[in-house]
């Protein structure tokens, strides 16, 4: 048992920390958010140059063979800056799915490009009524010669607005919520029959709705067998989101603490009021809980697939969702009016924190998942 | 004891219902129910309809154009209006400055301002809060210096709701800088067209423009615009704040929001079934519905006591806290109901009459925004912490 | 709409208030609790003499035709004194069941005696695994000539230790949780085959476990049709418990408020600490909520049976359970160590408050009941 | 980073497990698991077994009879002991007064007292709290006046846990009545057999006799029983309180209680099914299990940091709050699981070896009592409010 970072991990953390601090001032962040891409393509490129996008991949791809720990270290820093880049979506999730399911030529073609940051990929799993259920897939795929033709609609594809490739879950067999019969496809967004409706998200990112009308696409992995990989890799995404949330919570707590020390009302800093003091302690308490569970998730993210891994990742996401909401709401409450404004950076941390609970399962989803497999001894 | 309305009260309720059914414009009700943006014209249109019926200012004395309704009738009117999707009245003229003018203003002021509020000619906004003074209202810094027949006003106000539509603002200003805290404050009425006034929008975190900053740079205000005595403005302020606190529990609005939640949860799905059939989600709806039932009973108890001449004490602060927490819990569940579709931020779809592609449902674009916007409920109008301080003081007497 | 008391109601309230105040000092209460009966038979007699036990019954029985309001007024005062007498059990519940189901001769024989306090009755509805489900009845009753023979076990019969009659639900037909086939019987505790295991309860009362071994008993109402009456009358019992809880909560709040004003720590009354102030406000807030719902329950208790009445009574009990637990726990917390002692009266209020949630349904039970019939418009 | 134990740590865990399996008396484990009353003899029997193994005082320096375990080993030992149903060690001798004697005592004191604690000859209790001084420990009033070779002690202590079994008590007494607050306090060791000492039981609200009041009436205490310097007792007190706070999160005990909850909820029924299959109840178990998982991770992080020489700061106060809330939530669910059967109060069935009729189950009689008893967790050992004050002070620096 050991919670120290290795020297390499410490360096990695500092690299990410420095990069975020240097680039992601609040003003810049709002500019990036307003840009067409919805994030900083320059920052993305720098992440590639510094090797951050390569971290989870093997050394021959310029990577580090990094696990959930390394991912957590990077995501935490991205969370501190409420950075907008689709790192989790492209590097962790798309990269992970291709590494797990792809054949050699697909890996050759795509993983190096993702690791270098040259290719930014996105993943389309959600649908209109899927509500976090990864097996709820109505989009269809029919074999046509050596490729497939996709029809349907995928929702809320973060990073889809700029992605060079989008990984799409579609059904080659089975009924709506069957785990069997789900396949994964590589869709070229510029292919015929693809329409993207691009929108901003409430946390200042961008994403798109993906409409597929007889779109030709390449199968990734075996037909009908993608569910387990999707679930497994979503677990890695959850661990990454936990890391990001901890970073964003930490900054939200720091901002609030600072406000309590400096803002005066009735002639004293408002941090002199015991009720606000204890609320602040409760926020820190939630942050501590969240940090512990983010570490747990990071340590398990790359473990072999098992019911226990899934349950603990659900426990982590549940904890993070609750903590993130508490910290978001109380940071606004303790700031008062100022945190209700678009101009105040704290408000954007709050929005990102609440939004995280809408990705890969909210509190009910994960409490149910955990309860369903509750160990009885 | 009787929790049901009397036959007379039921008849009144039916009358209000019928009026709303006949007169409330469908487009306005739709906007309210779906959380779409309301224009200035929307507010004015509805206000004119109410004025024509004589129901725009129920709380005023009859001689000024009010009604003779008691607290129960007012409550019924508010409840039915919220249920029908009538917009919440912009309170700054009719329910804030007007009661102060009626109580503390001179005859000239009553003759000048009250009719223009009733007719909709004037749109008022508030000049209470300042950047440095949040809950600590009495620490305000905006100065008014007497110069002959005028005051010269300098300073800054903030959180001025819908100030962008207003042509008048009522302000608390400091007229005696030597006096301590509450003393030395005066209550001034200021024409927004006076040179030296600048209104700057504040975008709220949900991207909406509802509040503003108002800057005063050597603004000349005639002395006849002073309400009550110079340096005695705190009396008006306190009166207004008490007036403001009633109804802050927002039961009618929460009931409408809860109905909306059930509709949304019936359409949104989870595991292939309507979300409302999910045991955990349904029990969360039930929980907040029960809390709302209790708060409604609490409100009725205050209303009934008021119609017997009782003056609400700590109960209205407690209900403000309960009511805002309930409303916030409902907006949390509404956001949660959308699942991943809480993410898309679609301001264009929040405009009424949007005729492009609807991403999910007509109700969906406003739900996440509304969750964030409603965080204000526990901050403004006396934060929930301040409300608890008020109650503590009353009960502990320490 | 009107929340005022009539002159008669005001007098009734004052009568009960005076009686409780005069008799139920804390020391006396502990004596009554330790006595064999588990309550004050003298107090019970006084309640009879003052007509309090007759309140819900018609005038010809010496009663008042009182509704839930009158019951609430009495129960609230009993709650303020954490009185031990089985008023709800005998007068409201047993009395109500007999009035609803009994034939003329049963009513003649029993109601007058209950109304005068001469007969103290109890009601046995719970069983080993019934967990608040009134239809969970395994005790059997078989017709034998004009009477019935009962076999089985009923649990936690409050007031059963001293009751002259015990009303017992038993199954004449149907399966365990069928609502049909449940009948109600009048059991004489001294009859052959009746065994009572008497015990104290955690809130200082007494009750018993009722073992029935071929016990001859008299049917009350029609065979197999008692469920609706049991449910309806349990609703009246719930309303009464809500009133009692409000009384006990009010005293618990008063004691705590008083302690905050007088107990000094760090040189000041502890009520000067803002965190404790706000906690006290939260307690009062719960009390307000509970009061509102107790009034609602009182107003509905004697309404015609309907799904809406049941739902609102569930809402009331749910609110009361939550509020009672909060007030109980926080009153202990704000008092600190002193409230952990048997000698301190506040501790016994806390125990009664928590115990109320174990009678006629806890928070889960009533939340589920309410949610099951949630109106969708 | 690595959340799993190392092979060496796993081997140690197995050794502890094996020891507990072989040596922990079955009757004692059964009492602990079912919440039955423990006798003085039970405690002494288990303590002797631990002493024989050399594991009774793991935290002491090896030369005094302790072990060389690091924080991780101590944590493993505590966890495994709780899991096996070993009784919580009565801490007043081994984990409270002993560390103070080791740190501040003279050689004579170490030679006298430490071996008798190890052997079980002495049973210690605490004389910290006083009726007037709850969280405000420094306001204590018990006086000790020097009279030749003795102090004459007068006053009253309270909340003296298991004082009825003790033959020694360590006390904070005021030796300089003129000095302010913390100054003027001394740390005294007092033989309970000294004339003038009276122990009076305090019954707790669950009817249990666990704590006592101790009265001192002209009690003569030899001056050599002073630990450290006169008037410098606050240093000892602070050291002891810090020592006491570690482990207050009670993770091991909560894990055992949670297992018990699952067992109870598997046997108790609702709607004809085991309660644990009820969606609402099961999700409440899941919720508290997840909270416990997070608190356990938090504890491991502190333990790991401590084995690197780190000194826990605000984290241990935060974990004390989290841990006690978790334990209380579990006792709430345990009580709730009984339904109406939470009412019967059956002290006779709480005695081990009771061979009468069991009303419900062997586990049931203690559950409601335990819920009430465990309310103490958020009050004693520095109330949760005091813990939050401590954290506030550290983080706000105001």
Distance from C-alpha of B7 to C-alpha of A52, rounded to nearest angstrom: 73
Structure tokens at C310: 């049941």
Distance from C-alpha of B278 to C-alpha of C326, rounded to nearest angstrom: 28
pLDDT at position D244: 57
Per-residue pLDDT of chain C (377 residues; tens, 9 = 90+): 889 999 999 999 999 999 999 999 999 999 999 999 999 999 999 999 999 999 999 988 878 899 999 999 999 999 999 999 999 999 999 999 999 999 999 999 999 999 999 999 999 999 999 999 999 999 999 999 989 999 999 999 999 999 999 999 999 999 999 999 999 999 999 999 999 999 999 999 999 999 999 999 999 999 999 999 999 999 999 999 999 999 999 999 999 999 999 999 888 999 999 999 999 999 999 999 999 999 999 999 999 999 999 999 999 999 999 999 999 999 999 999 999 999 999 999 999 999 999 999 999 999 999 999 998 87
Nearest to D340 among C155, C199, C333 (CB): C155
Residues C218 and C255 in one domain: no
Largest interatomic CA distance in chain D: 75
* Other CB atoms within 10 Å distance of the CB of residue D147: 11
Residues C112 and C159 in one domain: no
Distance from C-alpha of C120 to C-alpha of C126, rounded to nearest angstrom: 19
DSSP state at residue D381: S
Residues C154 and C280 in one domain: no
**Domain range for A274:** 228-376
DSSP for D127-184, written as a single string: E--BTTBSS-GGG---EEEEETTEEEEEEEE---TTGGG-SEEEEEEES-TTS-TTTT
Write out pLDDT tens, residues A140-193: 999 999 899 999 999 999 999 999 999 999 999 999 999 999 999 999 999 999
3-state SS class at A238:
helix
| Residue in D closest to A278 by C-alpha | D388
Does residue D151 register a pLDDT over 60?
yes
**Pick among D141, D344, D390, D393 to test the C interface (most C CBs inside 10 A):** D344
Structural domain includes residue C70: yes
The mean pLDDT value of chain D amounts to: 93
Select from C174, C172, C161, C160 the least CA-distant residue to C125.
C160
Residues A196 and A136 in one domain: yes
Structure tokens at C79: 């709650």
pLDDT at position B246: 58
Q: Which residues of A touch D397 (CB under 8 A)?
A: 261
Does residue D133 register a pLDDT over 80?
no
Residues C318 and C368 in one domain: yes
Structural domain includes residue A276: yes
Does residue D368 register a pLDDT over 80?
yes
Structure tokens at B41: 């014209």
Map chain B to HEC letters.
CECCCCHHHHHHHHHHHHHHHHHCCHHHHHHHHHCCCCCHHHHHHHHHHHHHHCCCCCCCCHHHCCCCCCHHHHHHHHHHHHHHCCCCCCHHHHHHHHHHHHHHCCHHHHHHHHHHHHHCCCCEEEECCECCECCCHHHCCCEEEEECCEEEEEEEECCCCCHHHCCEEEEEEECCCCCCCCCCEEEEEEECCCCCEEEEEEEECCCCEEEEEEEEEEEEEEHHHEECCCCEHHHHHHHHHHHHHCCCCCHHHHHHHHHHHHHHHHHCEECCEEHHHCHHHHHHHHHHHHHHHHHHHHHHHHHHHHHCCCCCCHHHHHHHHHHHHHHHHHHHHHHHHCHHHHCEECHHHHCCCCCCCCCCCCCCHHHHHHHHHHHHHHCCCCCHHHHHHHHHHHHHCC
Nearest to C284 among B276, B283, B391 (CB): B391
Closest Cα in chain A, distance from residue D264 (Å): 11
pLDDT bracket for residue D245 (50, 70, 90) = low
Does residue B376 register a pLDDT over 90?
yes
Rg (CA), chain B: 22
Structural domain includes residue C154: yes
pLDDT bracket for residue D248 (50, 70, 90) = low
Closest Cα in chain D, distance from residue B255 (Å): 25
Residue at a domain's end among A207, A225, A243: A225
Domain with residue A76: its CATH number is 1.10.540.10
Q: Which residues of C touch B291 (CB under 8 A)?
A: 289, 319
3-state SS class at A268:
strand
Domain with residue C127: its CATH number is 2.40.110.10
DSSP state at residue C93: I
Residues C67 and C180 in one domain: no
Residues in Cβ contact with A9 at an 8 Å cutoff, skipping those fewer than 6 apart: A69, A70, A73, D1
The fraction of chain A above a pLDDT of 70, given in percent, is 100
Does residue B193 register a pLDDT over 80?
yes
DSSP state at residue D294: H
pLDDT at position A15: 97
Domain with residue C337: its CATH number is 1.20.140.10
3-state SS class at A358:
coil
Closest Cα in chain B, distance from residue C373 (Å): 10
Select from D30, D178, C292 the least CA-distant residue to B301.
C292
Alpha helix (H) residue ranges in D56-119: 71-84, 91, 98-104, 107-119
Q: ipTM for the complex?
A: 0.96
Q: Which residues of C touch A273 (CB under 8 A)?
A: 274
Structure tokens at A196: 């993207």
Residue at a domain's end among C183, C202, C225: C225
Report whether B46 contacts C38 (CB < 8 A). no
Residues C154 and C104 in one domain: no
Give me the mean pLDDT over the A46-54 stretch: 96
Distance from C-alpha of C253 to C-alpha of C290, rounded to nearest angstrom: 13
Choice among B41-50, B175-184, D337-346, D375-384 with the minimum mean pLDDT: B175-184
Residue at a domain's end among A173, A198, A225: A225
Give me the mean pLDDT over the A363-372 stretch: 98
Residues A220 and A265 in one domain: no
Return the beta strands (E) in chain A as ranges: 121-124, 140-144, 147-158, 165-171, 182-187, 194-201, 206-220, 264-265, 268-269
Report whether D129 contacts C337 (CB < 8 A). yes
Structural domain includes residue A2: no
Residue whose pair of structure tokens reads 């804390």 in the numeric block: C26
Write out pLDDT tens, residues B138-168: 788 999 999 999 999 999 999 999 999 999 9
Structural domain includes residue C1: no
Does residue D180 register a pLDDT over 80?
no
Report whether B188 contacts B221 (CB < 8 A). yes
Q: Using N-to-C axis directions, what is the helix angle for B365-373 and A345-356, rounded to 10°? A: 130
Residues C240 and C208 in one domain: no
Query: How many B-D residue pairs are in contact by the CB < 8 A criterion?
Result: 6
Q: Which residues of C touch B314 (CB under 8 A)?
A: 284
Distance from C-alpha of C99 to C-alpha of C110, rounded to nearest angstrom: 9
List chains adjacent to chain A, taking adjacency as at least 3 C-beta pairs closer than 8 Å. B, C, D
C274 CB within 8 Å of a chain A CB: yes
Structure tokens at A86: 């689709």
Does residue B339 register a pLDDT over 70?
yes
List chains adjacent to chain C, taking adjacency as at least 3 C-beta pairs closer than 8 Å. A, B, D
Structure tokens at B99: 């009661």
Structural domain includes residue C2: no
Q: Chain A 212-251, CB below 8 Å of chain D: which residues?
A: none
CA neighbours within 13 Å on the CB side: how many for D299? Answer: 27
Residues A257 and A351 in one domain: yes
Pairwise CB contact (< 8 Å): B343 & A333: no
Structural domain includes residue A43: yes
> How many independent structural domains does chain A possess?
3
Query: How many A-C residue pairs are in contact by the CB < 8 A criterion?
Result: 9
Residue whose pair of structure tokens reads 């019939």 in the numeric block: C373
pLDDT at position A146: 87
Q: Which residues of B touch D283 (CB under 8 A)?
A: 280
Residues C240 and C368 in one domain: yes
Residues in Cβ contact with D106 at an 8 Å cutoff, skipping those fewer than 6 apart: none
Select from C150, C273, C280 the least CA-distant residue to C217.
C150
Report whether B198 contacts B215 (CB < 8 A). yes
3-state SS class at A124:
strand
Residues C157 and C185 in one domain: yes
Pairwise CB contact (< 8 Å): C3 & B301: yes
Residues in Cβ contact with B52 at an 8 Å cutoff, skipping those fewer than 6 apart: none
Q: Which residues of C touch B395 (CB under 8 A)?
A: 257, 280-281, 284
Write out pLDDT tens, residues B52-104: 999 999 989 999 999 999 889 999 999 999 999 999 999 999 999 999 999 99
Structure tokens at D299: 């504890």
pLDDT at position C317: 98
pLDDT at position A307: 97
Distance from C-alpha of C360 to C-alpha of C134, rounded to nearest angstrom: 9
Start-to-end C-alpha separation, chain D: 35
Structural domain includes residue C247: yes
Q: Of C340 and B239, which is predicted with more confidence?
A: C340
Does residue B245 register a pLDDT over 70?
no
List chains adjacent to chain D, taking adjacency as at least 3 C-beta pairs closer than 8 Å. A, B, C
């Amino acid at each position: 048992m050991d919670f120290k970072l290795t020297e390499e991990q410490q360096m990695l953390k500092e690299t990410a920390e420095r990069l975020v601090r240097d680039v992601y001032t609040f003003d810049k962040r709002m500019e990036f958010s307003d840009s067409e891409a919805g994030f900083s393509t320059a920052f993305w490129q720098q992440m590639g140059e510094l090797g951050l996008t390569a971290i989870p991949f093997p050394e021959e791809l310029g990577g580090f063979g990094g696990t959930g720990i390394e991912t957590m270290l990077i995501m935490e820093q991205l969370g501190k800056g409420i950075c907008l880049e689709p790192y989790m979506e492209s590097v962790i999730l798309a990269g992970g799915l291709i590494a797990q399911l792809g054949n050699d030529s697909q890996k050759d073609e795509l993983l190096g490009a993702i690791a270098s940051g040259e290719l930014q990929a996105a993943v389309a799993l959600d649908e209109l009524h899927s509500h976090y259920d990864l097996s709820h897939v109505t989009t269809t795929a029919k074999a046509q010669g050596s490729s497939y033709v996709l029809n349907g609609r995928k929702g809320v594809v973060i990073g889809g607005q700029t992605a060079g490739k989008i990984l799409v879950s579609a059904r080659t067999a089975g009924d709506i919520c069957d785990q069997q019969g789900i396949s994964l496809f590589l869709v070229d967004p510029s292919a015929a029959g693809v329409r993207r409706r691009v929108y901003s998200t409430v946390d200042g990112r961008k994403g798109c709705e993906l409409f597929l009308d007889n779109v030709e696409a390449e199968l990734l992995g075996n037909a009908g067998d993608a569910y387990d990989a999707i679930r497994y890799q979503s677990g890695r995404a959850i661990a990454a989101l936990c890391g990001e949330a901890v970073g964003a919570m930490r900054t939200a707590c720091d901002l609030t603490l600072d406000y309590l020390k400096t803002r005066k009302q009735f002639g004293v800093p408002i941090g002199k009021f015991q009720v606000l003091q204890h609320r602040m302690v409760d926020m820190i308490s939630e942050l501590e809980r969240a940090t512990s569970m983010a570490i747990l998730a990071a340590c398990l993210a790359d473990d072999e697939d098992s019911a226990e891994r899934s349950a603990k990742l659900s426990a982590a996401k549940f904890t993070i969702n609750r903590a993130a909401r508490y910290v978001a709401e109380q940071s606004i409450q303790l700031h008062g009016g100022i945190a209700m404004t678009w101009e105040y950076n704290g408000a954007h941390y709050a929005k990102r924190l609440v939004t995280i609970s809408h990705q890969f399962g909210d509190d009910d989803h994960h409490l149910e998942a955990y309860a369903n497999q509750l160990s009885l001894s | 004891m009787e929790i049901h309305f009397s036959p007379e009260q039921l008849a009144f309720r039916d009358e209000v219902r019928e009026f709303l059914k006949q007169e409330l414009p469908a487009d306005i009700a739709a906007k309210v129910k779906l959380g779409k943006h309301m224009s200035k014209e929307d507010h004015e249109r509805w206000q004119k309809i109410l004025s024509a019926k004589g129901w725009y200012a129920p709380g005023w004395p009859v001689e000024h154009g009010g009604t003779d309704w008691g607290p129960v009738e007012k409550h019924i009117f508010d409840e039915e209006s919220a249920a029908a999707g009538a917009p919440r009245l912009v309170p700054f003229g009719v329910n804030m400055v007007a009661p102060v003018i009626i109580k503390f203003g001179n005859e000239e002021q009553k003759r000048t301002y009250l009719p223009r509020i009733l007719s909709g000619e004037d749109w008022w906004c508030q000049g209470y809060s300042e950047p440095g003074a949040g809950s600590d209202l009495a620490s305000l810094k905006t100065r008014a210096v007497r110069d002959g027949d005028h005051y010269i006003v300098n300073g800054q106000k903030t959180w001025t709701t819908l100030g962008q539509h207003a042509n008048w603002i009522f302000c608390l200003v400091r007229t005696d800088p030597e006096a301590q805290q509450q003393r030395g404050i005066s209550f001034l009425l200021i024409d927004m067209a006076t040179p030296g006034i600048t209104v700057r929008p504040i975008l709220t975190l949900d991207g909406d423009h509802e509040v503003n900053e108002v800057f005063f740079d050597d603004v000349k205000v005639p002395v006849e615009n002073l309400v009550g005595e110079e340096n005695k403005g705190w009396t008006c302020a306190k009166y207004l704040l008490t007036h403001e606190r009633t109804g802050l529990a927002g039961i009618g609005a929460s009931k409408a929001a809860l109905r909306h939640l059930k509709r949304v949860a019936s359409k949104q799905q989870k595991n292939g079934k309507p979300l409302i059939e999910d045991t955990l989600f349904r029990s969360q709806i039930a929980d907040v519905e029960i809390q709302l039932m209790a708060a409604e009973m609490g409100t009725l108890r205050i209303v009934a006591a008021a119609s017997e001449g009782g003056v609400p004490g700590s109960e209205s602060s407690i209900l403000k806290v309960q009511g805002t927490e309930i409303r916030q819990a409902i907006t949390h569940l509404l956001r949660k109901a959308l699942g991943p579709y809480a993410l898309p931020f679609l301001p264009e779809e929040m405009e009424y009459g949007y005729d492009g592609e609807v991403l999910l449902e007509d109700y969906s674009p406003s739900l996440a925004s509304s969750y964030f916007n409603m965080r204000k409920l526990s901050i403004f109008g006396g934060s929930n912490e301040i409300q608890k301080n008020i109650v503590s003081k009353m009960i502990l007497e320490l």
